[in-house]
Amino acid sequence: MAARLICVSNRVSLPRKAAAPGGLAVGVLSALKRTGGVWFGWGGDLSEDDPSEPEIHIRDGVTYALLELRRDLFEPYYNGFSNESLWPLFHYMPTKFRFRHEEREAYEAVNRQFAQKLAPLIKPNDVIWVHDYHLIPLASRLRELGVRVPIGFFLHIPFPYIETLRVLPTYAELVRDLTAYDLVGFQADSDLRSFHSAVAHCVETARIEPDGLIRLGDRSFRSGVFSIGVDVEGIEGEAARAADTQIVRKMVDSLVGRKLVIGVDRLDYSKGLVERFSAYEQFLETFPDNRGHVTYLQIAPLSRKDVQSYAEIRRSLEQASGRTNGRFADADWTPIRYLNRNFPHESLMGFLRAAQVGLVTPLRDGMNLVAKEYLAAQDPADPGVLVLSQLAGAARELSAALQINPYDSRAVGHAIQTALTMSLSERRDRHSAMLEILRSNDIGVWANRFISTLRQTRESPSPVSRLPAVG
């Protein structure tokens, strides 16, 4: 049997019998099932004192190790440092950035807790795959505990260039922690270049090879681009099945023959929703013939509602949709349907399939899987058109989408009009070209590439020394 894989993520949920896994879980679970692996992370429970040992569950040959977190640490770790320091900075939005030493200390404490509870579960031949910005220090903490198996890290969000990263007072420590991994993976070439800029700035002796190998004195580690995909076949099946479900039929029937423009985003300022609502309002002004004939459905589940900036964006969107609907609505037509709730994944795929236009216009995104899901959900015989932000990682692969700058409301409006009037033959050609790309790099290919590269790294990395202070 292949060496066992241990995946570590901030949040882990046990699979539910009635729900098929979506997104990241598809690729991770496939890899874990092959090795009888372990998925380790926070299970959602909080404790008043130091947590007990992880709660172990076994499902379909996969071991789920669910950790409790201390209640007094969770808020500053998650809503604080992770999402008010790292998240805005990594998305190039320093005006949203806030730093507090006590939140950074909680972030370190939680990562130390992860390491202490994970270390006893690790076997000599394991390889460990750590996911995302919540757990950057984890390899350093595991190395301090004597763990010497290969550890890889994949960042799902962008990585900022060094001149932006330096806004963070503890940026040098962050870079040091990333150098403790044996493999560091990113979504796009720009993220990799930014990481290299940070390593070169923080470690004068670092040598960065053309193939992504980084030499740091007596040790080295690998870095590379591993653009995440989606489960194309799974989404195709979900979307086709959902088309005949009551919830999707009800939504389609309510359009009364009108064309549908759709957006599906977590409620977050990085998704460009305020700018998107403004662009749609301008679209209705510029192309008045669409009034009464096009409906824009925006699904935006609440996100991190305890963070002030997220409450502000919710108010802004409610005001923007109210203004547009107040200006243009008729007795039998509402221009914008704005929903702050989530739906089952299969229902969402059915909604995407029914839409003539998919609006994916983040101000910055590591990848944005909704763009790929929209394409995979389409009927190839009569596909819709993707309007995609140039600032999403997906834009590098999906060149046949109508690409726009999300800050340019006039360009977004014109792209919507182009999409709505595009000929069937052109829609088919664009969709076919992008679907071929999605199939060649689906979620399984992505997971296999990363894990294969990680397994090729050396078995016993040397101890990681602290980086020199940086002014």
* Residues with catalytic function: 156, 365
Which candidate, 185, 120, 171, 220, places its Cα nearest to that of 366? Answer: 185
The residue with tokens 């150098």 is: 179
Q: What is d(CA 128, CA 151) in angstroms, rounded to the nearest whole number?
A: 5
Three-state secondary structure string covering 448-470: HHHHHHHHCCCCCCCCCCCCCCC
Instruction: Check if the beta carbon of residue 116 is closer than 8 Å to that of residue 144.
Output: no
Which of the 8 DSSP states describes residue 156?
S
Which pair of structure tokens corresponds to residue 206?
Answer: 């670092």
Cβ neighbours, 10 Å, residue 45: 12
Check the CA dihedral 211-214-217-220 and report its sign: negative
Q: In whole angstroms, how far apart are CA 356 and each of 339, 341, 417?
A: 19, 22, 11
Which residues have CB under 8 Å from 233's CB, separation 6+?
Answer: 442
Cβ neighbours, 10 Å, residue 51: 19
Q: In whole angstroms, how far apart are CA 213 and each of 43, 183, 222, 292?
A: 35, 9, 4, 57
Which residues have CB under 8 Å from 71's CB, separation 6+?
Answer: 46, 47, 48
Q: What is d(CA 400, CA 393) in angstroms, rounded to the nearest whole number?
A: 14
Three-state secondary structure string covering 310-350: HHHHHHHHHHHHHHHHHHHCECCECCEEEECCCCCHHHHHH
Q: In whole angstroms, how far apart are CA 127 and each of 12, 58, 180, 299?
A: 18, 19, 14, 38
